[in-house]
Each structure stands twice: as C-alpha cells, then as structure tokens.
Structure 1
Amino acid sequence: MMENRLDENHSTTLTNKQRGNEVTVRPATLDNLSIHQLAAHGEISQLEIHLSKDSSLLNSQDERGFTPLMWAAAFGEIMVVEFLLQKGADPRTLARERESALSLASAGGFADIVNILLQHDIEIDSYDWNGGTPLLYAVRGNHIKCVEALLRCGADITFEADSGYSPVALAVALGHKKVQKFLEDHILKLFRGPVSVSENT
C-alpha cells in the first residue's frame, strides 16, 4: 500500500517515459530515439525529419534485423506503415530470424495492416526459424480477421510449423473454435471451388 502511495506522488512524466508513452515524452527525448523506436511509437513527424536527413534509414535494420516498417507493423501503427510504404520501405525484408512485417502484423492481430501489406508484392507464406507463417501466427493469436485476409490472398492452409501443426490443427489444439470453423469452411470452398466459379460465370 505504501509503495502505491509513493508511486502516485512521483512525477508522471518519468513513469510515462519509462513506459514509452510518446504523449508525455519531451521533444528532447524524441531526438534520442532511433528511427525504429520512432516507428514503433507512431512518431511520423520525427520519422520525416530523420528520413529527410538520411533516406538510407528507411530500410535500415536494427540488431535483430527489424526495419522501421517491421516495428510499425508489430505495434499496430497503421499510419506509420502507410507513410513508410509511400516513402518506399521494402515490405519483403526479412529479419535475422526470418520475421517479416506481415508475420508481425498477423501475430499482433492488426488486420488493417495485414490488408495494406498484402497489396504489395510480398511472400504471403514466408516462414521464420520456427517454421511459423503469417497464417499460423494469425491462427495462434485467434485473429480471425487476419486469417480471413491471408486466406483471401492465397495463404497456404497446408503449411506446417516445425512443431508439426497445420493451421487447422493449431486452431483445434488451442480451442479457437471460430477460427477452426473458418479454416474448415475455407477448405470446403477450395474443394468445391471450380464448380462454384463456373456456376457464377
């Protein structure tokens, strides 16, 4: 109890800064953030300043191989994702463990970002060192809108992670019933595909 009271009396600027809350970070602190941190925080105006000074930062990779676009995708910063793509950021870049902007957005459940990235020429079934694909990460996170977007654009529903799980098996194992039903319905549509297409034409 005493500790809580002490925390409440502390300057909120310090605790917010420690949490990385960009709203209360002072401009002087923003100057010290890397372009990757700025992307994760959604600081478009600061990103613009950095990129106007050095355009090579656009696709620069940090120690994990993450680009500013990957950080923005991982943190759901849709406006930053759009801004970086307009500037020419490469959505096909893979990090050290083969993570992609698409797999990070899928894991986070950011369907709008997944849809934006899918409009670019990217490898939809790129897999990381765990054998995880964007679809598998979307299933694992129970992110049905991401699953839907990925399947609509042709994600491989048969691809298995290193653990041996296919998307359907993973949904069953985790008890994600809505995702499981969606995947099973998709498989049925694939089997009936050519017939229903000819009926519609």
Structure 2
Amino acid sequence: MKRLRMTSGHLTLAIVHPSPGTSGPMVSVPHENKYTCYLSTYVFLSVYHPRVRCLLGAEPPEQLDVDEEGSFVHSTTLTNKQRGNEVTVRPATLDSLSIHQLAAQGDISQVAAHLTKDGSLLSQQDERGFTPLMWAAAFGEKAALDFLLEKGADPKTIARERESALTLASSGGYVDIVESLLRHGVDIDTYDWNGGTPLLYAVRGNHIKCVEALLAKGADMTIESDSGYTPMALAVALGHKKIQKVLEDHILKLYKPPT
C-alpha cells in the first residue's frame, strides 16, 4: 500500500508493507524520491535501439512539474526524465492531487469524492490522453481499477500515442489487472506508436504470468515491432529463457495435430 506524506516541504511517497517474515505490524519505508509519478511501461527495444527511450520514464523524476496553481502536471512529469528536463517546483499539497494521481495511488475514497463532485472526471484524459483508469492500471492498483470499471470507466480508451490500459498493465506485470481488462473485452493486440503490443511489452518485462494470460486469450504471436522483433525473437534477444519456453509450448499447442 502506498501513502503520501509531507516531509520538509516536499510530498514524498511512503511504501507501507508488512515487516519481512511476519504478518504483524505494518512498517513505513519512505521512498527515496519525491512522489513517483512515472509509469512502468518501457519501450521493449530500449536496450537495443538508442533512439528508443522509456515510453514514460524508466526512473522516478527527481522533481515535479506543477502549473501556476501549484497542481501537478502529471503527464509532463511522466516524460520529464525521458526528455532530460529539470524543473524547479513549489511544494505540493495533498489537495493538489488530481483524480488521475489519486487513482494511481489507489485512494478509492478520494477518487469517489472527486466523482461525486464531477462525474465527467471518470473519463477525463490528461494532456497525454491518460484516464484515471489507465493510471490505476499502470500502477497496479487493482481495487481502484475495479472501482472505476464499476462506475462505468471505458477500459478501451486509447491515449495519444495509442497506449492502452492493457499495454500499461502488461508492461508492469500486473496479471490480475490484465485478466480483468481482458474480461472487459479490450483489444488484446493494440499496437502503439512505439511499436509494441501488450504481449511484446509483457515479453520485454519478463512477465511470465502476463504472457501466459495474453496467450490464453489469443494474443497474436506473429505481430512484429517496428524493428522487426516478434515476441519470440524479442525473448531470445533479451535472454528471457522462461518466456521462450512459454512461447514454444504455446506454439506446439497451436500446431499439435488432432488425435
């Protein structure tokens, strides 16, 4: 569970989890960086193609972008590190968090409060086209995602660069969210402008269970990235041997002669 707190004028993220090896008291471990407003999606060819960088930032930004009102410019923050920008910001307050960021941290009560005031926020896209549901998917916040789906959020929304909630969840390895989105009929083979499908992103991240879930629902193994990598070729190039085995077993199952 993630909590936000103010420390020395800065908003920081605390990751709260059970003490190792126990089911007892919760301990709070402050995150080393300020509020981690980055998504876990990676361009799957980033290690091989210098021009391809992390889709939304591979590392947490050290500083946050805010607008003139002191609110987070959250999608700008997502790409700030990617672009090499460094900005100076004023301290943020909890009140400045948008519904997108509240969804990203799984704060269902605050998300509900925002929707009570303005129901249109459910489908509101930020400046890069991300909806609250997409933020929840990207950060692995299953309960928040389910809440948004129950309220009628569209899981099929596509962002400006054709990123989807399924792409974000697959890249992060959140198999429970992947399965939930697939049950809601999203396009399993959405191809974004960075040349990736959910399956390719899952392979890139070495997320075995996501790969298995996508294959079980019919993900296309023949779709190539812009640079010509199929899921199998990408797994081989990255040395993801367990992923290779999953893909090989799936191919054998597909072409197994009838008995």
Same fold, judged at TM 0.5 (above)? yes
1:126 aligns with 2:180: no
| Residues in 2 aligned to 1:102 and 1:66: alpha-carbon distance in whole angstroms | 12
2:144 match? 80
* Aligned alpha-carbon RMSD (Å): 2.1
Q: 1:145-181 CA distances to partner (integer Å, 9 max, x unpaired)?
A: 0000000011001110101100000000000000011
More helix by share: 1
Match of 2:161 among 97, 113, 120: 97
Distance 1:179 1:43, change over 3 A: same
**Could you say which residue in structure 1 is the equivalent of 2:239?**
175
Tell me the alpha carbon deviations over residues 45-77 of structure 1, each in whole angstroms, 9 at most, x when there is no partner.
000000011111001000110000000000010
Is the Cα contact below 8 Å between 2:6 and 2:12 reproduced in 1? no
- What is the CA distance between 1:17 and its match in structure 2? 5.0
**1:63/1:165 CA distance change after superposition, 3 Å:** same
For normalisation by structure 1, the TM-score amounts to 0.85
Equivalent residue for 2:98, pick from 20, 34, 53: 34
Matched residues in 1 for 2:99 and 2:124: separation?
9
Unaligned stretches of 5+ residues in structure 1: 1-11
Please give the secondary structure, in 1, of the residue aligned with 2:7.
Answer: helix
* Shift in CA distance, 120/15, structure 1 to aligned 2, threshold 3 Å: farther
TM-score, normalised via structure 2 length: 0.66
Report the equivalent of 1:135. Answer: 199
Query: Does the 8 Å contact 1:22/1:41 carry over to 2?
Result: no
Mapped to 2, the partners of 1:40 and 1:87 lie a distance apart of: 16
Which amino acid in 2 is paired with 1:162?
A: D
Unaligned runs of 5+ in 2: 17-29, 36-91
Structure 1 residue aligned with 2:7: 14
Note if contact 2:11-2:93 (Cα within 8 Å) is conserved in structure 1.
no
What percent identity do the matched residue pairs reach?
70
| Large movers: runs of 4+ above 4 Å | 22-25
Structure 1 residues 65 and 188: CA distance shift in structure 2, 3 A: same
Give the partner amino acid of 1:173.
A
